[in-house]
Structure 1
């Protein structure tokens, strides 16, 4: 069946691997490309000969069309004809020569008010980075090998101007490993490896993704109860700034059922209590994504240190949820500062897109 807005296709996914794989580790070889940190999007540009309508589907098939009017307009005018593209929506910010991806600016684009959407489309315009081709006109490319899909994508979109971009690729594993290090400075998320001989496999993890993983020692600030009502769902953690203040830098989750239950007893001696003996609670800041979600947490005395694994920072917080590694009874809480964090060397996003 031909992918279309009325019959949307699930995107092909990637499984995590610890390092950039050798090209001969997969039959037919591998193609490498940057891993963009944005909103995954499948674009359905439809019409009879010319592009007449555009829909932008998300990873979960929820339509993002209304949030990115500037991209819809660009697809209508720049694409040579009906097609289905797979790619990523990103928002670059910063001066020329020092641009990087801005996740916060991108996340603000999901807003219920049409007037706000219009304003943000002008203030922080988005870019679409294409990395796969699923159809041209009435012809499906889903079953074709990636090498053929990429060649057709280059012919279709290789010369299109901003805000439409074609991601760069290479079969040189050494260059891909260099990208993994350098491109993080522009806000990218890692590197993706795709089997050159593989067809497009909706909802299957046939691609390989290599992301940045680092560790940090942080202070346990509190915990949230699991949605089941039993055990710890997530830990809130913090770091000390130059001013000596302890700041919330994110959360730690993905505990097993047994670990969630044991953490309640393990953290009990650290729970802050009021004069009546009741546990003291607090609330984290709400965001456009929290909605009516419970943002309360049980406060802990900031005395216990844990080591966590994270990929990157976004401002003063972990970009994604961190993973628990181990407790660090040998560390003093006050020694957990922002200075320990590994910051990538700045890299211009324009050089990634060139």
Structure 2
């Protein structure tokens, strides 16, 4: 990576920007959704512990039983009143970058300088606001990769020490466990309110290239997925196009010629991710 490589745990949550403005502090998803009202305990901590005019980039997570639980985060988001679940499913914010500090734009600075600024900000933080761990030691990173899975870490993120902050690009490299890979669902079979299966693709040179399909969905999985999809055009008896949706599938399916050799098992939808965050290296992760 440019300037050398730094490694961080890849937390199993939702990437969120914290835009700090005292009482006007907001939490925004990568797609711009306002999550402020749903996680008041995190918003309050950010507003009180981070100087106004700052913008943090980090992971919104829910911790249960001493581990990060993505399913609990999704259930809280889907609840009629997510804020009411703060006691049963407490959220936390794990910051891994700072792109503005007290109105100063840091995006053009190298990552290592932004990290120093983040550490200065985090010196007085307390739960539920924390800072992600970081190391340049590849052996320690490998140790994290193997032992932190029980805490809700599904891999590592590699960052270049000299990299500026560029939104909407894939400058960072994700190294995920082989148990799953991310793909993009572009269409469904069956009715829109209870899909039968997904047609899957990978982004290649700015285009979504078909790579196969999922296995047939069970009734519960189909109903849950129906809440996440946005049909494009009229439903079809063969396949209905949907707005591209990142999904996580099992990595136990072999690849052949850049395609899935057989249907893949859907694990969950990842609507908080943008298709640009899915790389063709998924093919390599899925290969033996």
Task: Give the TM-score normalised by structure 1.
Answer: 0.56
CA distance in 2, matches of 1:176, 1:282: 37
Structure 1 residue 204, shift from structure 2 partner: 0.6
Aligned equivalent of 1:290, options 217, 223, 226:
226
Contact map agreement 2:68 2:152 (CA 8 A) in 1: yes
Match status 1:52 vs 2:17: no
CA distance in 2, matches of 1:144, 1:72: 26
Deviations 1:210-269 (A, max 9, x none): 110049xxxxxxxx994488xxxx987xxxxxxxxxxxxxx8944965966xx9xxx9xx
1:133 corresponds to which residue?
98
1:105 corresponds to which residue?
72
1:306-325 superposed matches below 5 A: 320-322=248-250, 324-325=253-254
Q: Which has the larger radius of gyration?
A: 1
Match status 1:174 vs 2:136: no
Contact map agreement 1:142 1:200 (CA 8 A) in 2: yes
Contact map agreement 1:67 1:111 (CA 8 A) in 2: no
Deviations 1:249-300 (A, max 9, x none): xx8944965966xx9xxx9xxx9xxxxxxxxx97344656632869xxxxxx
Contact map agreement 1:133 1:141 (CA 8 A) in 2: yes
Aligned equivalent of 2:50, options 70, 79, 94:
79
Q: Secondary structure at the match of 2:77?
A: coil
Q: Secondary structure at the match of 2:165?
A: coil
Task: Give the TM-score normalised by structure 2.
Answer: 0.68
Q: Structure 1: which 4+ aligned runs deviate by more than 6 Å?
A: none
1:35 corresponds to which residue?
10
Contact map agreement 1:78 1:160 (CA 8 A) in 2: yes
Contact map agreement 1:192 1:207 (CA 8 A) in 2: yes
Structure 1 residue 173, shift from structure 2 partner: 0.8
Match status 1:190 vs 2:119: no
Alpha carbons of structure 1 residues 285 and 78: separation in structure 2 relative to 1, 3 Å: same
Moved more, 140-149 or 151-160: 151-160
CA distance in 1, matches of 2:128, 2:161: 27
Contact map agreement 2:95 2:132 (CA 8 A) in 1: yes
**RMSD (Å) for aligned C-alpha atoms:** 3.5
Q: Secondary structure at the match of 2:147?
A: helix
Structure 2 unaligned residues grouped into runs of 5+: 203-208, 231-246, 257-288
Match status 1:209 vs 2:191: no
Structure 1 unaligned residues grouped into runs of 5+: 1-25, 216-223, 237-250, 272-280, 295-318, 328-354
How many residue pairs get aligned? The number is 226
CA distance in 1, matches of 2:44, 2:18: 12
Q: Secondary structure at the match of 1:321?
A: strand
CA distance in 2, matches of 1:192, 1:105: 23
Q: Secondary structure at the match of 1:155?
A: helix
CA distance in 1, matches of 2:20, 2:186: 44
1:239 corresponds to which residue?
none
1:251-270 superposed matches below 5 A: 253-254=200-201
